[in-house]
């Protein structure tokens, strides 16, 4: 998948929704690393006060993307002028991913992100899973817009594309995502998401948000 550099992108061009395959791995890793590295959740999970924080974030993003491709999950992106500017990875409603059972993923994580970060991430993941409703739902564990192209409505366009994927899948009744950044809550609420539960991680509150995919909020 060939792309132009970010500096070559025309900000006036209309974005296009595309399906992603492994040829987009490097671009997806870069976008999610840049989107997540300053988020409160990642600061807590990977202890940004200790040396090696950026390495741990990069390793985690890499291993999660690889895991979702290995499990043949949906991945989509927004492209403008042949440049990938936003990505989302969607978990199938029948998957109910349990990271404690992903032995090869855990080993790779411990070797690259470290034991403490791996343990924290798995604990966080399990607490999120405990909040999920009983019905079949899609999960959105990875979604990000390149920081250079935020505040242009790309996040809304990407999430609308995710919801269309959900609506096309008769097995799923809703969509779940989570955020530790409270300033995003009004945005998600404007799209019809409601607070399903909260997870405490130190001084941080992680919000687990749910939306019935049969509802149109835009």
Instruction: Please check the confidence at residue 217 and state whether its pLDDT lies above 60.
Output: no
Kindly report, residue by residue over 67-100, the tens digit of the pLDDT. 999 989 999 999 998 899 999 999 887 676 777 7
Strand order from edge to edge, sheet including 83-91:
16-19, 74-80, 83-91, 137-145, 174-179, 204-212, 194-201
Q: Which of 209, 211, 177 is nearest to 195 (CA)?
A: 209
Residues 14-212: name the CATH superfamily: Gcn5-related N-acetyltransferase (GNAT) (3.40.630.30)
Q: What is the Cα–Cα distance from 99 to 165, expressed in whole angstroms? A: 24
Kindly report, residue by residue over 145-156, the tens digit of the pLDDT. 999 998 899 999
What pLDDT score was predicted for residue 9? Answer: 39
pTM of the model: 0.86
- Identify the sign of the CA torsion 116, 58, 17, 7: positive
Tell me the percentage of the chain whose pLDDT exceeds 90: 55
At 176, is the secondary structure helix, strand, or coil? strand
Band of pLDDT at residue 214, cut at 50, 70 and 90: low
What pLDDT score was predicted for residue 10? Answer: 47
Domain boundaries, the chain: 14-212
The encoded tokens of residue 150 equal 């935020």
What pLDDT score was predicted for residue 170? Answer: 67
What pLDDT score was predicted for residue 136? Answer: 81
Task: Count the Cβ atoms, other than its own, within 10 Å of residue 98.
Answer: 11
Instruction: Please check the confidence at residue 215 and state whether its pLDDT lies above 80.
Output: no
Instruction: Please check the confidence at residue 8 and state whether its pLDDT lies above 50.
Output: no
Kindly report, residue by residue over 117-138, the tens digit of the pLDDT. 999 999 998 888 888 887 688 8
Strand partners, 198: 207
Cβ-based neighbours of 142, under 8 Å, separated by 6 or more: 32, 61, 64, 65, 68, 87, 88, 89
- The pLDDT of 200-210, averaged and rounded, is 91
């Amino acid at each position: 998948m060939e792309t132009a550099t970010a500096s070559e992108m025309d900000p006036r061009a209309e974005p296009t929704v595309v399906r992603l395959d492994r040829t987009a791995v490097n671009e997806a890793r870069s976008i999610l690393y840049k989107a997540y590295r300053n988020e409160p959740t990642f600061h807590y999970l990977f202890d940004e006060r200790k040396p090696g924080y950026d390495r741990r974030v990069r390793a985690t993003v890499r291993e999660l993307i690889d895991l979702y491709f290995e499990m043949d999950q949906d991945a989509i992106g927004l492209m403008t002028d042949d440049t990938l500017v936003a990505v989302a990875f969607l978990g199938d409603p029948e998957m109910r991913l349990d990271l404690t059972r992903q032995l090869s993923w855990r080993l790779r994580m411990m070797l690259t992100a470290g034991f403490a970060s791996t343990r924290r991430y798995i604990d966080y993941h399990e607490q999120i899973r405990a909040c999920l409703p009983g019905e079949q739902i899609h999960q959105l564990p990875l979604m990000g817009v390149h920081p250079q192209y935020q505040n242009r409505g790309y996040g809304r366009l990407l999430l609308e594309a995710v919801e269309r994927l959900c609506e096309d899948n008769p097995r799923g009744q809703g969509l779940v995502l989570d955020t530790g950044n409270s300033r995003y809550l009004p945005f998600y609420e404007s799209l019809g998401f409601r607070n399903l539960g909260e997870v405490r991680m130190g001084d941080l509150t992680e919000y687990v948000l749910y939306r019935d995919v049969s509802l149109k909020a835009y």
